[in-house]
Amino acid sequence: MAAGFAIAGRAKAADIDVVIIGAGAAGLAAGHALKAAGRSAVILEARGRVGGRAWTDTTLGPSYDAGAMYIHWAERNPWATIARDLGVQTTSESWGGGFRAFADGNPMPADDRRRRREAFRQIDRKLETADISSRDLSVAELLGDLAPETAPVAASGLLLSIGEEADRISARDYQRLWAGDDLLVPSGYGNLVARHAEGLDIRLNQPVEAIRWDGPRVSVTTPTGTIEARSCILTVPIGVLKAGTIRFTPALPPATEAALAGLRMGALTKIALKVVGDRFDIAPGTTLIESGKPEQLISFEMYPDGKDLVIGYCGGDFARRLSEAGPDAARQHATDLLARMIGGDFRAAVKAVSFPAWWTDPFAKGSYSVCLPGHEAAREALAQPIGGKLLIAGEATAGGGAMTVGGATLAGRAAAGTLLKLKA
């Protein structure tokens, strides 16, 4: 279906009001908002599909969400409404089958499990009680007065949520992130996002190489040519912007560069194993957590929704090393660890791996944005219009909605609204 978007409803270059770079959630949201306002927009997407980091992977047969999985804070998340309008089922069920904790592949003693749970609870308690009004802290610094054996365990919980080491996470930014009820999309969050692309002029396989924004119009160059528009909304991940993949003429303003310097990409990573045969008396949805080394925390969701899959989750520098090592190394690590947890016979059940390592993906270069300590204003600064015709939008500019598809969607809508006001 996505390939059809690439040739649908093309506008003449002279008639284009806005060129949108990126067909992820932010780009799609901006496109729909502009279309509703009667403005013409073309979306250029580097990949051969839409959705960006929201992608339902079917390469192993059974599907799973390789990127975003939850409609977070569903009470105000636009995707709850979009799903309802499209007739796509959502559920609050977690498909859970309980938790089992391990240390170096062996069952963790009960006392150690209790200490681990208490350490995780201390993150929220510290954020609720610590005074960070005068100075932003890293989460690691915030946890610094915990017992030496407790602080690393407490911080490790962020590897599976933020995907980053605690000393690189702004406590103020973390504190302001929205919370609420979560929804799952049984048919795939990525599939839902892809459906929302219908009706937009999206041109696939068009990685942007250069943007010129000093003239009366914005010129955007891809390997197949240059397109001009009155304005541009740039929704690529900040990992791509920081890597210099896109050349800007003139260079981005110092304030924008400073905002980018205050952000980085986390590395939340999933390893999907196709497994068949014996399920070793493990109930679907059971979570096996290996936390013997807090810095190498990894969680395995076993047979989610009854599927022949095992999904491993890890983050931070450990996930970066695994991503750089490649899918064969990831498969070997996950299989060896699960064989110690379950039994050596598990090796024969593993038939294939899918390893969408966002950290090494050239069109993502990370999972989602993380605000560095002392740079809690970076998100708002990054969203400021550039030269009256260029805006950066995405989950990185979503404030309390950062790191989510819903936040990216709200940011895309906001960017479109800003352009409409500027060009009114």
How many angstroms separate the CA atoms of 413 and 65, rounded? 24
pLDDT of 13 strictly over 80: no
How many angstroms separate the CA atoms of 217 and 212, rounded? 8
- Which of the four pLDDT bands, split at 50, 70 and 90, describes residue 5? very low
- For the stretch 76-134, pLDDT in tens is 999 999 999 999 999 997 667 788 999 999 999 888 888 888 877 877 787 777 778 88
Distances (CA, A) of 227 to 7, 267, 409: 15, 33, 24
214 & 363 share domain: no
Q: What is the DSSP letter of 158?
A: G
Q: Cα dihedral angle (149, 150, 152, 156), rounded to 10 degrees?
A: 140
Q: What is the DSSP letter of 15?
A: G
209 & 351 share domain: no
How many angstroms separate the CA atoms of 185 and 54, rounded? 12
Look at residues 350, 367, 384 and tell me which one is the last residue of a structural domain. Answer: 367
pLDDT at 154: 81
Q: Which helix (H) or strand (E) holds 27?
A: helix 25-36
290 & 310 share domain: yes
Among residues 127, 14, 94, which one has the least CA distance to residue 286?
94
Does any domain span residue 15? yes
Beta strands in 24-103 (DSSP E): 41-44, 56-57, 64-65, 70-71, 99-103
pLDDT at 123: 76
How many angstroms separate the CA atoms of 85 and 88, rounded? 8
- For the stretch 288-322, pLDDT in tens is 999 989 899 999 999 999 999 999 999 999 999 99
Does any domain span residue 76? no
Given the DSSP bridges, would you call strands 70-71 and 99-103 parallel, antiparallel or unpaired?
unpaired
212 & 97 share domain: no
Among residues 77, 54, 60, 37, which one has the least CA distance to residue 2?
54
pLDDT at 1: 35
pLDDT at 424: 63
pLDDT at 120: 79
Does any domain span residue 249? yes
**Cβ pair 269, 313 in contact under 8 A:** yes
- For the stretch 154-208, pLDDT in tens is 888 899 999 999 999 999 999 899 999 999 999 999 999 999 999 999 999 999 9
* CATH code of the domain in which 334 resides: 3.90.660.10
245 & 293 share domain: no
Among residues 40, 42, 45, 13, which one has the least CA distance to residue 423?
40
Among residues 26, 11, 6, 16, which one has the least CA distance to residue 412?
26
What's this model's pTM, rounded to 2 decimal places? 0.94
Look at residues 347, 367, 387 and tell me which one is the last residue of a structural domain. Answer: 367
pLDDT at 53: 98
Q: Which residue has the tokens 């908002």?
A: 33
pLDDT at 14: 52
Does any domain span residue 384? yes
203 & 288 share domain: no
412 & 308 share domain: no
- For the stretch 368-416, pLDDT in tens is 999 999 999 999 999 999 999 999 999 999 999 999 999 999 999 999 9
Query: Phi/psi class of residue 343: alpha, beta or left (left: φ > 0; alpha: ψ in -120 to 50)?
Result: left
Q: Which helix (H) or strand (E) holds 139?
A: helix 139-142
* CATH code of the domain in which 236 resides: 3.50.50.60
How many structural domains is the chain composed of? 2
For residues 252-265, give the mean pLDDT: 98
- Which of the four pLDDT bands, split at 50, 70 and 90, describes residue 153? confident
Segments in 177-218 forming alpha helices (H): 189-195
Chain mean pLDDT for the chain: 92
pLDDT > 70 fraction of the chain, expressed in percent and rounded: 96
Supply the range of the domain harboring residue 201: 2-52+188-263+374-422
pLDDT at 102: 93
**Cβ pair 407, 399 in contact under 8 A:** yes
Please, which residues bridge with residue 46 across strands? none
Does any domain span residue 283? yes
**In terms of pLDDT, which residue wins out, 116 or 238?**
238
Q: Which residue has the tokens 């064989």?
A: 339
For residues 251-267, give the mean pLDDT: 98
